[in-house]
């Protein structure tokens, strides 16, 4: 039974989801980092909010951990690189609090436009400063979005409803999507120059850090108002404070800060600055939604292999998981076959080409390719799985290519992997027999049909009389029982392949005996 630890406060309904799905769950919020490290090795999954820090040190202690689920969108508190290196899936819940966060950005924009917090404080202090608080309308103003993904697009929809003109800077926003949203796609400089209000809706990455730098703020329209409900670090707080003091920026509303909890900031104490303590997702609905969502996602992954909203792995929906399962196994086995045949003397793998034909051509290829790479590299290095296979391949300079063939094939489905090294090029292809059983159908262009078995022996030899008798006698003399025997050849008298399944692994001394037989060119033991 999979076991999950919840280390931050989570809805009791989320705990019940785990239990109802047949998962053993422990709720232990508030553990110290040392206490968490001491027990994390017992768990398959870790469910968190923002308080738990999933560090490199914690992951090193999490020897059985398969998945980290973040109830919320931000994963700043998770060391994604270390999790990926250790093959741990990191999931978040980007849709559970999108409406709440978008509404907060709109609320902050209204509060800033009409100076509501300051007017409220003044009135409560017994003053009646009606002439002091002169606001501006949102109608007919230009809103500049930096980021137009899940949350940004909701803000755009609400702003269009408020009769605002909307400019959107987002490298991933298509012209078609912009048209659907009723926004104008623009580059960053255009947004800075034309917007009356600028609101940020982008993750914090190396590319977006300080996207509103001192230089960028200098390019903005005089009197602009800036809202950030996304991530601290997207703007230079000191530069923004200077721009407000100079009068170039009319005001700002911030829900997030570069350092949190934010007990000090150059923006504090300035008029026309609205600050809230990271309340973007702080509604009862959002907190419940993300908790339930992360529980369902983690349960699906641990029970069925479905991967939803993963940061570091291709998604596999709960509906697709059963259909993909036999294909994932086929790809893993084909990769493991090719990886075990790749010898160190042939040089490092430089390129891997994966071809999909027939029914396989219509599937989601990203997880299939990840399974293929994991199978391929596992015999050559430790700790490789579907999560980190792509990163490991890239780090080792392996070029990975996918090809989808829309052409007739003699098999309902066919997957072929070709591995290139400095020494040679080797390919192996397979299909699914009866729709679910992986089967080899081709090795190095030679037709060989064989089911995978836990222990196999692969031999290449010259196609001449006498080989089979000597080979069988050698195995019999060593007490090795042959379960199945499959042969294939390129042409009469040319290179041939012998692939046999045996009841147990073939010891290295027996392999050496096979290699010394006349006509044998290669003999490799395989394990699956």
Residues that are catalytic: 231, 260, 278
CB count within 10 Å of CB 82 equals: 16
Measure the CA–CA gap between 152 and 154, rounded to whole angstroms: 5
Mode of pairing for the β-strands spanning 495-502 and 482-489: antiparallel
H helical segments located in 66-219: 80-85, 98-113, 116-124, 150-161, 175-181, 188-194, 214-218
Q: Comparing C-alpha atoms, which of 145, 139, 193, 194 is closest to residue 169?
A: 145
Which pairs with CB-CB distance under 8 Å and at least 24 residues apart come from 481-487?
A: 483/453, 484/450, 484/451, 484/453, 486/448, 486/449, 486/450, 487/448
> Torsions phi, psi of 453, nearest 5?
-135, 160
* Close Cβ partners of 295 (under 8 Å, ≥ 6 residues apart): 10, 14, 15, 17, 18, 47, 69
**Residues 479/504, Cβ–Cβ less than 8 Å:** no
**Residues 406/352, Cβ–Cβ less than 8 Å:** no
* Close Cβ partners of 324 (under 8 Å, ≥ 6 residues apart): 316, 363, 364, 367, 368
Measure the CA–CA gap between 511 and 504, rounded to whole angstroms: 13
């Amino acid at each position: 039974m999979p076991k999950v630890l919840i280390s931050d406060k989570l809805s009791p309904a989320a705990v019940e989801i785990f239990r109802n799905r047949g998962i053993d769950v422990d709720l232990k919020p508030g553990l110290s980092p040392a206490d968490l490290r001491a027990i994390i090795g017992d768990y398959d999954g870790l469910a968190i909010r923002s308080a738990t820090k999933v560090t490199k040190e914690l992951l090193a202690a999490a020897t059985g951990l398969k998945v980290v689920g973040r109830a919320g969108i931000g994963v700043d508190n998770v060391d994604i690189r270390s999790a990926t290196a250790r093959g741990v899936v990191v999931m978040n819940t980007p849709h559970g609090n999108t409406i709440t966060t978008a509404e907060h950005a709109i609320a902050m924009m209204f509060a800033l436009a009409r100076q509501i917090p300051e007017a409220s404080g003044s009135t409560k202090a017994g003053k009646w400063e009606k002439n002091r608080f002169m606001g501006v309308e949102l109608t007919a103003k230009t809103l500049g979005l930096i980021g137009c993904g899940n949350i940004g697009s909701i803000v755009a929809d609400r702003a269009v409803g408020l009769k605002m003109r909307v400019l959107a800077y987002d490298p991933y926003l298509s012209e078609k999507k912009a048209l659907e949203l009723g926004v104008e796609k623009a580059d960053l400089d255009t947004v800075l120059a034309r917007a009356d209000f600028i609101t940020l809706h982008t993750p914090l990455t190396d590319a977006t850090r300080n996207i509103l730098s001192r230089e960028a703020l200098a390019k903005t329209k005089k009197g602009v108002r800036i809202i950030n409900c996304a991530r601290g670090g997207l703007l230079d707080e000191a530069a923004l404070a200077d721009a407000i003091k100079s009068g170039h920026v009319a005001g700002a509303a911030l829900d997030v800060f570069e350092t949190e909890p934010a007990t000090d900031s150059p923006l504090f104490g300035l008029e026309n600055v609205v600050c809230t303590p990271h309340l973007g997702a702080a509604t009862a609905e959002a907190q419940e939604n993300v908790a339930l969502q992360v529980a369902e996602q983690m349960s699906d992954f641990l029970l069925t292999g479905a991967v939803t909203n993963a940061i570091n792995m291709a998604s596999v929906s709960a509906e697709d998981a059963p259909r993909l399962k036999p294909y994932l196994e086929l790809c893993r086995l084909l990769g493991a076959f090719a990886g075990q045949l790749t010898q160190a003397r042939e040089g490092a793998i430089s390129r891997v080409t994966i071809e999909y034909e027939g029914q396989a051509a219509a599937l989601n290829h990203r997880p299939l390719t990840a399974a293929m790479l994991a199978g391929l590299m596992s015999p050559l290095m430790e700790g490789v799985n579907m999560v980190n296979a792509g990163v490991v391949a890239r780090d080792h300079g392996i070029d990975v290519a996918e090809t989808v063939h829309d052409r007739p094939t003699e098999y309902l489905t066919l997957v072929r992997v070709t591995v290139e090294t400095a020494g040679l090029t080797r390919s192996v292809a397979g299909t699914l027999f009866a729709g679910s059983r992986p089967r080899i159908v081709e090795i190095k262009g030679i037709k060989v049909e064989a089911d995978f078995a836990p222990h196999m022996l692969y031999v290449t030899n010259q196609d001449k009389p006498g080989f089979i008798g000597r080979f069988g006698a050698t195995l019999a003399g060593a007490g090795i029982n042959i379960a199945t025997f499959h042969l294939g050849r390129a042409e009469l008298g040319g290179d041939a392949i012998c692939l046999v399944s045996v009841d147990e692994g073939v010891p290295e001394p027996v392999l050496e005996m096979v290699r010394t037989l006349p006509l044998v060119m290669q003999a490799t033991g395989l394990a699956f």
